[in-house]
A and B are shown apart, each in its own frame.
Chain A
Amino acid sequence: AQSVTQLDSQVPVFEEAPVELRCNYSSSVSVYLFWYVQYPNQGLQLLLKYLSGSTLVESINGFEAEFNKSQTSFHLRKPSVHISDTAEYFCALGAGSYQLTFGKGTKLSVIP
Protein backbone atom coordinates (compact mmCIF):
# COMPACT_ATOMS: atom_id res chain seq x y z
CA ALA A 1 0.00 0.00 0.00
CA GLN A 2 1.09 3.54 -0.66
CA SER A 3 0.66 6.60 1.49
CA VAL A 4 1.59 10.28 1.49
CA THR A 5 2.06 12.38 4.60
CA GLN A 6 2.10 16.14 4.54
CA LEU A 7 3.49 17.11 7.88
CA ASP A 8 1.98 20.57 8.17
CA SER A 9 -1.70 21.30 7.65
CA GLN A 10 -1.16 25.07 7.71
CA VAL A 11 1.91 27.19 7.06
CA PRO A 12 1.80 30.97 7.55
CA VAL A 13 4.72 32.90 6.10
CA PHE A 14 5.48 36.55 5.48
CA GLU A 15 5.66 37.87 1.96
CA GLU A 16 9.14 37.56 0.38
CA ALA A 17 10.22 35.01 3.00
CA PRO A 18 11.25 31.46 2.02
CA VAL A 19 8.94 28.52 2.57
CA GLU A 20 9.20 24.74 2.68
CA LEU A 21 6.17 22.45 2.51
CA ARG A 22 7.04 18.96 3.64
CA CYS A 23 5.95 15.71 2.05
CA ASN A 24 6.92 12.14 2.93
CA TYR A 25 5.78 9.04 1.15
CA SER A 26 5.65 5.30 1.63
CA SER A 27 5.60 2.80 -1.19
CA SER A 28 6.91 -0.66 -1.92
CA VAL A 29 7.26 0.01 -5.66
CA SER A 30 8.84 2.69 -7.82
CA VAL A 31 7.18 6.02 -7.32
CA TYR A 32 6.40 9.10 -9.31
CA LEU A 33 5.74 12.24 -7.31
CA PHE A 34 3.67 15.31 -7.98
CA TRP A 35 2.83 18.61 -6.35
CA TYR A 36 -0.55 20.15 -7.15
CA VAL A 37 -1.91 23.54 -6.11
CA GLN A 38 -5.54 24.38 -5.49
CA TYR A 39 -6.80 27.95 -5.38
CA PRO A 40 -10.17 28.68 -3.72
CA ASN A 41 -13.15 27.28 -5.61
CA GLN A 42 -10.97 25.74 -8.27
CA GLY A 43 -9.69 22.32 -9.23
CA LEU A 44 -6.11 21.17 -8.84
CA GLN A 45 -3.31 22.40 -11.08
CA LEU A 46 -0.01 20.58 -11.54
CA LEU A 47 2.89 22.51 -10.10
CA LEU A 48 5.74 20.09 -10.80
CA LYS A 49 6.51 16.40 -11.01
CA TYR A 50 9.34 13.94 -10.54
CA LEU A 51 9.42 10.94 -12.83
CA SER A 52 13.12 10.07 -13.09
CA GLY A 53 16.50 11.65 -13.69
CA SER A 54 17.53 14.78 -11.84
CA THR A 55 16.19 14.72 -8.32
CA LEU A 56 15.62 18.49 -8.33
CA VAL A 57 12.61 19.62 -10.32
CA GLU A 58 11.40 23.14 -10.87
CA SER A 59 8.18 24.87 -11.79
CA ILE A 60 7.76 27.92 -13.97
CA ASN A 61 6.70 30.11 -11.04
CA GLY A 62 9.74 29.65 -8.83
CA PHE A 63 8.87 26.54 -6.82
CA GLU A 64 11.21 23.59 -6.67
CA ALA A 65 11.11 20.16 -5.08
CA GLU A 66 13.80 17.61 -4.38
CA PHE A 67 13.23 13.87 -4.51
CA ASN A 68 15.12 12.16 -1.70
CA LYS A 69 14.81 8.40 -1.95
CA SER A 70 16.71 7.62 1.25
CA GLN A 71 14.47 9.88 3.29
CA THR A 72 11.37 9.09 1.21
CA SER A 73 10.64 12.79 0.90
CA PHE A 74 9.63 15.25 -1.78
CA HIS A 75 9.61 18.65 -0.07
CA LEU A 76 8.45 21.75 -1.92
CA ARG A 77 10.40 24.99 -1.55
CA LYS A 78 10.27 28.56 -2.74
CA PRO A 79 12.94 31.12 -1.85
CA SER A 80 10.59 34.11 -1.81
CA VAL A 81 6.80 33.84 -1.67
CA HIS A 82 4.21 36.26 -3.00
CA ILE A 83 0.66 36.99 -1.91
CA SER A 84 -0.53 35.15 -5.00
CA ASP A 85 1.02 31.91 -3.70
CA THR A 86 -1.67 31.70 -1.03
CA ALA A 87 -3.39 28.39 -1.80
CA GLU A 88 -3.58 24.78 -0.70
CA TYR A 89 -0.79 22.49 -1.87
CA PHE A 90 -1.11 18.75 -2.32
CA CYS A 91 1.64 16.20 -2.65
CA ALA A 92 0.65 13.10 -4.64
CA LEU A 93 2.16 9.74 -5.46
CA GLY A 94 1.64 7.59 -8.53
CA ALA A 95 2.70 3.98 -8.16
CA GLY A 96 1.34 1.72 -10.84
CA SER A 97 -2.31 1.47 -9.94
CA TYR A 98 -4.02 3.98 -12.25
CA GLN A 99 -4.64 6.36 -9.38
CA LEU A 100 -2.94 9.12 -7.47
CA THR A 101 -2.60 8.91 -3.72
CA PHE A 102 -2.79 12.36 -2.18
CA GLY A 103 -1.61 13.83 1.07
CA LYS A 104 -4.12 15.79 3.15
CA GLY A 105 -2.83 19.11 1.88
CA THR A 106 -0.99 22.11 3.32
CA LYS A 107 -2.64 25.50 3.37
CA LEU A 108 -0.07 28.18 2.65
CA SER A 109 -1.01 31.65 3.87
CA VAL A 110 1.21 34.49 2.76
CA ILE A 111 1.05 37.46 5.12
CA PRO A 112 1.65 40.92 3.66
Chain B
Amino acid sequence: KAGVTQTPRYLIKTRGQQVTLSCSPISGHRSVSWYQQTPGQGLQFLFEYFSETQRNKGNFPGRFSGRQFSNSRSEMNVSTLELGDSALYLCASSFGGTSTDTQYFGPGTRLTVL
Protein backbone atom coordinates (compact mmCIF):
# COMPACT_ATOMS: atom_id res chain seq x y z
CA LYS B 1 0.00 0.00 0.00
CA ALA B 2 1.32 3.43 -0.84
CA GLY B 3 1.91 5.70 2.12
CA VAL B 4 0.71 9.21 2.77
CA THR B 5 1.99 11.62 0.16
CA GLN B 6 2.34 15.35 0.50
CA THR B 7 3.03 17.89 -2.19
CA PRO B 8 5.04 19.94 -2.58
CA ARG B 9 7.86 18.86 -0.30
CA TYR B 10 9.39 22.32 -0.12
CA LEU B 11 7.97 25.79 -0.59
CA ILE B 12 9.41 29.27 -0.32
CA LYS B 13 6.98 32.16 -0.11
CA THR B 14 7.10 35.79 0.93
CA ARG B 15 5.08 37.54 3.61
CA GLY B 16 1.54 38.33 2.58
CA GLN B 17 1.27 35.57 0.01
CA GLN B 18 -0.97 32.56 0.36
CA VAL B 19 -0.12 28.89 0.00
CA THR B 20 -1.96 25.61 -0.58
CA LEU B 21 -0.57 22.29 0.57
CA SER B 22 -1.87 18.93 -0.56
CA CYS B 23 -2.15 15.56 1.13
CA SER B 24 -3.16 12.19 -0.30
CA PRO B 25 -4.01 9.66 2.42
CA ILE B 26 -3.46 5.93 2.40
CA SER B 27 -6.07 4.20 0.27
CA GLY B 28 -9.13 3.41 2.37
CA HIS B 29 -8.37 5.96 5.08
CA ARG B 30 -11.12 8.50 5.56
CA SER B 31 -9.58 10.68 8.25
CA VAL B 32 -6.92 13.27 7.53
CA SER B 33 -5.26 15.42 10.17
CA TRP B 34 -2.83 18.29 9.79
CA TYR B 35 -0.09 19.31 12.21
CA GLN B 36 2.39 22.17 12.29
CA GLN B 37 5.88 21.34 13.55
CA THR B 38 8.29 24.06 14.65
CA PRO B 39 11.42 23.89 16.82
CA GLY B 40 9.89 26.13 19.47
CA GLN B 41 6.33 24.83 19.70
CA GLY B 42 6.80 21.23 18.63
CA LEU B 43 3.88 19.47 16.97
CA GLN B 44 0.61 21.36 17.11
CA PHE B 45 -2.72 20.12 15.83
CA LEU B 46 -4.33 22.19 13.10
CA PHE B 47 -7.49 20.32 12.09
CA GLU B 48 -9.00 16.95 11.30
CA TYR B 49 -11.35 15.95 8.50
CA PHE B 50 -13.49 12.87 8.07
CA SER B 51 -15.70 12.30 5.06
CA GLU B 52 -15.34 15.93 3.98
CA THR B 53 -16.36 17.27 7.41
CA GLN B 54 -14.10 19.11 9.79
CA ARG B 55 -14.54 17.43 13.16
CA ASN B 56 -11.93 19.23 15.20
CA LYS B 57 -9.83 22.35 14.92
CA GLY B 58 -6.77 23.46 16.84
CA ASN B 59 -6.00 26.87 18.20
CA PHE B 60 -4.83 28.60 15.04
CA PRO B 61 -6.02 31.84 13.46
CA GLY B 62 -8.59 31.85 10.69
CA ARG B 63 -5.82 32.32 8.12
CA PHE B 64 -5.36 28.58 8.36
CA SER B 65 -8.08 26.62 6.63
CA GLY B 66 -8.54 23.25 5.06
CA ARG B 67 -10.87 21.01 3.19
CA GLN B 68 -11.28 17.40 2.24
CA PHE B 69 -12.54 16.03 -1.03
CA SER B 70 -14.79 13.06 -1.69
CA ASN B 71 -11.75 10.87 -2.46
CA SER B 72 -10.36 11.76 1.02
CA ARG B 73 -7.55 13.89 -0.38
CA SER B 74 -7.09 17.03 1.66
CA GLU B 75 -5.70 20.50 1.19
CA MET B 76 -4.76 23.14 3.67
CA ASN B 77 -4.47 26.81 2.87
CA VAL B 78 -2.65 29.57 4.68
CA SER B 79 -3.48 33.10 3.64
CA THR B 80 -1.55 36.29 4.32
CA LEU B 81 1.60 34.44 5.28
CA GLU B 82 3.66 35.61 8.25
CA LEU B 83 7.28 34.84 9.08
CA GLY B 84 6.08 32.72 11.99
CA ASP B 85 4.26 30.38 9.62
CA SER B 86 7.61 28.91 8.57
CA ALA B 87 7.35 25.29 9.65
CA LEU B 88 7.09 21.68 8.63
CA TYR B 89 3.46 20.86 7.91
CA LEU B 90 2.61 17.23 8.44
CA CYS B 91 -0.42 15.40 7.24
CA ALA B 92 -1.56 12.14 8.83
CA SER B 93 -4.22 9.70 7.76
CA SER B 94 -6.08 6.99 9.63
CA PHE B 95 -9.00 4.72 8.97
CA GLY B 96 -11.50 6.38 11.29
CA GLY B 97 -9.64 9.14 13.08
CA THR B 98 -10.59 7.90 16.53
CA SER B 99 -8.32 7.98 19.56
CA THR B 100 -7.30 4.35 19.10
CA ASP B 101 -6.51 4.58 15.40
CA THR B 102 -2.91 4.67 14.34
CA GLN B 103 -2.14 7.82 12.42
CA TYR B 104 0.22 7.42 9.49
CA PHE B 105 2.26 10.48 8.67
CA GLY B 106 3.49 11.83 5.38
CA PRO B 107 7.00 13.25 4.92
CA GLY B 108 5.74 16.80 5.34
CA THR B 109 5.90 20.04 3.42
CA ARG B 110 8.58 22.44 4.60
CA LEU B 111 7.33 25.99 4.21
CA THR B 112 9.75 28.88 4.44
CA VAL B 113 8.32 32.40 4.59
CA LEU B 114 10.73 35.21 3.75
Contacts and interface: CB of A to CB of B under 8 A. Distances in A.
Contacts, number: 59
Nearest to A51: B100
Interface stretch (B12-20, B48-56, B69-77, B79-87): B48-56
B100 A94 contact: yes
A93 B38 CA distance: 19
Given A94-B99, A94-B100, A99 B42 contact: no
A32 B99 contact: yes
B43 A43 contact: no
Interface residues of B, number: 27
A46 B100 CA distance: 13
B21 to A, nearest CB: 13
Interface in A26-71: 32, 34, 36, 41-46, 49, 51
B97 A98 contact: yes
Given A51-B100, A94-B101, A101-B45, 5 more contacts: A32-B99, A36-B105, A98-B50, A99-B48, A100-B33
Interface of A: 32, 34, 36, 41-46, 49, 51, 90, 94-105
Interface of B: 4, 31, 33, 35, 42-45, 48, 50, 55-56, 58, 90, 92, 97-108
